[in-house]
Chain A
Amino acid sequence: MSVRLTKKQEEIVASPLDAKLFLRGRAGTGKTTVGVWRLRQLIAAGVPAHSILVLVPQKRLALPYYNEIRNPRRKGGAEATVATLGSLSHQIVNLFWPLLAKQLNQHEPLRRPAFLSSELIQYLMFKLLEPQIAQNDYFNSVTITRPRLFSQLADNLNKSALVGFPHTTLAQRLKAALPSDQEQAHIYDDAQTCVNVFRAYCLEHRLLDFSLQVSQFIQQLWPHDVPRAYLTRRYKHIIADNLEEDTPVTHQLLREWLPGCHSALLIYDEAASYRRFLGADEVSAESLQELCTTTYELDATRVMSPAVESLLVEISELMTGETLDAPKRKGETAAAISFTPASRSRFHTQMVDWVADTVAALVQEEKVKQNQIVILAPLMSDSLRFSLVSRLESRGVPSYTLRPSRPLHAEPAVRALITLAKLAHSHWQIEPQHQVKKFDVVQMLLSAMADLDLARATLLADIRFVGGKLLPFREISKNPEMRARITEVFGERFDKLVGWLDAYRAGTPETIDIFFSRLFGEVLSQKGFGFHFSKRANPQNAFDEARIVANLIDSSRSFRQTLDQIEPDTDTGQEYARMVDAGILADQYEPRDWKKSPDAVLIAPAYTFLLSNQPVEYQFWLNIDSQAWTRRLQQPLTQPYVLSRQWPAGRIWTENDEQQTSREMLLRVVTGLLKRCRKKIFVGYSKFDERGNEREGDLRIIFDLLLRTLNQETNM
């Protein structure tokens, strides 16, 4: 990190080696820079890096610390540990589980527990709860997809673990704070029954979902002598960053850990707490200040230009109705904001074109670095992302996207492998709507065979997909014209694939992951097939496709290994394909290279960008009429505010609370984004939205007011 520190930053970094410091301030004031320099300073002063723990709410927020650890000019030795509550609890439970074996399952105490990924949680909920839901007509008054329903049930369990209350009191808490109609009360009761069933099953089979892993760590292992001695003897220096985005149990853990530490630096960002929907609690975070010997505050921005800072003040005043005691530079504010011109703001596509043109001009004419530009929307739909990526690409500007998860099952490569798996396992019982159809074969052939066009793929499927089976091309004898249209080259490749499937069928079936892996290695990545690596074509495409297949194989392997433990008689291959078809599995994979920021324009949902905590020069805010800027996610089975530690028992959630939290949320997002902007924001507005509807969102109203204020200022 080559930034120069201010005097105040230097003072904090150089604090004595036994200091316990609380550092607060708004975003962009250089707090994380202090954290990184403090880490360097501790090591330079002889503190073994082995004894330093950097604790963050999510690993992406630790990027500046990772960069320091990977700095080739650093001192040799051990490494500081970077952890989240999730990784720490996983590690401790994984190492010390024999000490709590008897609590997990009395009958079968000493088998290693299995950690459940989010897709396995979805699967088990589907398997366990679906029959109960159907039988008892649960959740009949809500319209919600199964994956969303299950993720809200999991979310409720996670809240109980992260906030620290028994999972058996979920419905009671929700009903007490949200006493609406009888129907809603039933929904909470149904949710309670479901989480109880799921938790009992996990305990019986020694399965740890995230919530059980955290609660086993916090409630059983942290109080236990052996793991506690390991943690507290090893980690004597703690740097905890973005405390306000962390949860009450993390804060409680720190509260008990800090008194025995040699030093601590707790970093607290004011007016943030963007992860509240995941249990973040700024009040319990701030209460840790009392454990520290010195509190520092950083208030001068190290990010915003004077114009952006002035814009921040104007907008904050408009949104709160309060006059702030802060510098407003009349005439300068306008330099920090630009709006879609009227001539390009009628249709959404016009606005997107304007965004792409403006980005290209910044990069190509003003020589702005690509990674200093982000394009944000409250929600980033696939179509919007695609429109942006393709428009930028056509203007020669590379871009990359950050999305919370990537739906693997929607990838053509995955669909092709699932189709081939069904063709190779003719004994599988598949529901009629998911049996292989001609359309699936055409799509599979387009993915599996290099250079094959749609016409030939359709011809092959028409004449060689018979009775649910692929028949060899070489056996076409009566139709030479057809052979010629398909060509011998493609015919030969097709036969190689068919031959491989026939040989596989004749032998003992493999596990599903090994089947995918063999098919990939022995056929699909060989010359002439769709995943073959060729230097002439774009090699990155081949690597990206192979990575998708690798993710599918990882997912199916972990599914097989877990299922073998709990249901050894199940045909895991058939079950896996069934779940992928149902959209339950093969989801949520970490994007590649999350530790690197490529030299490209970032396209991301606004919250994802906020949580990556990396300032940039230029921001584009799109879809300002969208309600998603202010509205919480629709979550009929849960509610983050009333399941928080700060919600007083007996208080009822009102419409007024709803509006107030919406306003507060918008204020935090808008100011949070501005504090991470160095030079300018571009506001992308169109009269008609992506779907052609005309709307007026709260954010637009604010910008209208702002425009009026700015015009008055210029006319004065």
Chain B
Amino acid sequence: MRLPEDFTFSQSMLQDFTDCPRRFELRYLLDARWPAQETAQALLYEAGQQKGQEFHHLAHQHALGVPADVLTETIADDDLKIWWTRYLTWQAANLPAERFPELTLTVPLADSLLMAKYDVVAKLADGSFLIVDWKTGRPQKRLRLADRMQTLVYPVVLARGGDWLNDGQPIAPERIRLAYWFAETGETVDFELTAEKLRKDEARLTSLLQSIAASTEFAKTENERHCCFCPYRSLCERGELPGNLDELDEEDGPDGLSLDLDEIEEISF
């Protein structure tokens, strides 16, 4: 199947392709909605998603100038209160007042477009740029995060499409840092970019985009663990019952619930 000319890739699309090419095809090329449950604990999952969204929304409101004390008064949930307090402390020490929340950048790559939707991008006092991704799921190990498409895509897109944030000048790779901030701990896992890494990552993304564009067959994954939390299970004849959240481990996703939050944002965009 040929990709439509205006097809825009995102990190979660690339992650889907990496996890299961058939899922990529169903979701983005065939635009197939398949409304089966993703987990057995649907309401728990929904509550987790809502809490994550609420947190992102608070951070967005705060970045746009709604005073923190007004926002604090709007929080009823206990977990959210704790996350919010951690956030307030961390952002005061690490982010300048002027920051770009919910920023979307798109760059042309390999005859397609590659999009990144950031929670926050900020120019720090020393002229460097910090990308922050709020993670409200369980904390992840550095090694695991390093392997995610998000870690690859976010810095590359900022390096190639962030000139206007830098007075029209290209941002030097060494001046870009990506921080995953975990609400559960208030700590971050950071990734620095270098010129060499940018070159390699860009080459890897280019070849991935080209191979997707050239694909005519999109095979089902061989790792059937991916099917447990995938709504297309019945379509692929890979089981009847959805996966159990208690059995979700690192292999199934970097942070369970918040992975889907990224997807939701990109899909709705």
Contacts and interface: CB of A to CB of B under 8 A. Distances in A.
Contacts of B60: 95
A76 B32 contact: no
B37 to A, nearest CB: 5
Interface stretch (B86-94, B125-133, B191-199, B231-239): B231-239
A72 B70 CA distance: 42
B129 to A, nearest CB: 14
Contacts of B37: 514, 517-518, 521
Contact of A522 (B107, B160, B237, B240): B240
B36 A517 contact: yes
Contacts of B32: 543, 546
Given A96-B61, A514-B42, A543-B30, A110 B73 contact: yes
Interface stretch (A456-464, A524-532, A673-681): A524-532
Given A110-B74, A533-B235, A543-B30, A73 B108 contact: yes
Interface in A109-132: 109-112
B31 interface: yes
B31 A593 contact: yes
A525 B111 contact: no
Contact of A592 (B31, B34, B103, B241): B31
A547 B61 contact: no
A67 B36 contact: no
A94 to B, nearest CB: 8
Contacts of B231: 521
Interface string B82-112: 0000000000000000000001111110011
A96 B57 CA distance: 11
B189 interface: no
A197 interface: no
Given A70-B6, A72-B113, A518-B37, A229 B104 contact: no
Contact of A50 (B6, B76, B164): B164
Given A50-B164, A99-B66, A521-B37, A72 B61 contact: no
Contact of B66 (A96, A510, A526, A533): A96
Given A50-B164, A96-B61, A546 B33 contact: yes
Contacts of A50: 103, 164
Interface in A494-549: 510-511, 514, 516-518, 520-522, 525-527, 532-533, 543, 546-547, 549
A72 B103 contact: no
A525 B65 contact: no
Interface string B42-85: 11000000000000010011001110001101101000000000
Interface size range on A against B: 35 or more
Nearest to A592: B31
A48 B71 contact: no
Contacts of B70: 98-99
Give the one of A111, A510, A521, A592 with max B CB within 10 A.
A521
A550 B104 contact: no
A472 to B, nearest CB: 19
Contacts of A112: 74
A590 interface: no
B106 to A, nearest CB: 6
A527 B106 contact: no
Contacts of A522: 36, 234, 240-241
Contacts of A2: none
Contact of A546 (B8, B34, B57, B108): B34
A77 B66 contact: no
Contacts of B242: 521
Contacts of A511: 43
A581 B103 CA distance: 43
Contact of B235 (A46, A70, A525, A596): A525
A111 B54 CA distance: 12
B65 A229 contact: yes
Nearest to A500: B240
Nearest to B107: A76
Contacts of B246: none
Contacts of A48: 164
Given A77-B161, A110-B73, A230 B240 contact: no
A482 interface: no
A657 interface: no
A226 interface: yes
B65 A226 contact: yes
Interface in B156-178: 160-164, 168
Contacts of A518: 36-37, 42
A526 B234 contact: yes
B147 interface: no
B217 interface: no
Interface in A33-63: 46, 48-50
Chain A CB within 10 A, most for which of B32, B70, B106, B234: B234
A708 interface: no
A636 to B, nearest CB: 38
Contacts of B163: 77
Interface in B137-168: 160-164, 168
B111 A72 contact: yes
A592 B33 CA distance: 11
Given A72-B112, A514-B43, A525-B36, 11 more contacts: A77-B105, A77-B107, A78-B103, A79-B105, A79-B106, A226-B66, A517-B35, A517-B36, A546-B34, A546-B35, A592-B31
11 contacts: A72-B113, A73-B108, A74-B108, A76-B106, A77-B105, A77-B163, A101-B74, A514-B37, A516-B35, A522-B36, A543-B31
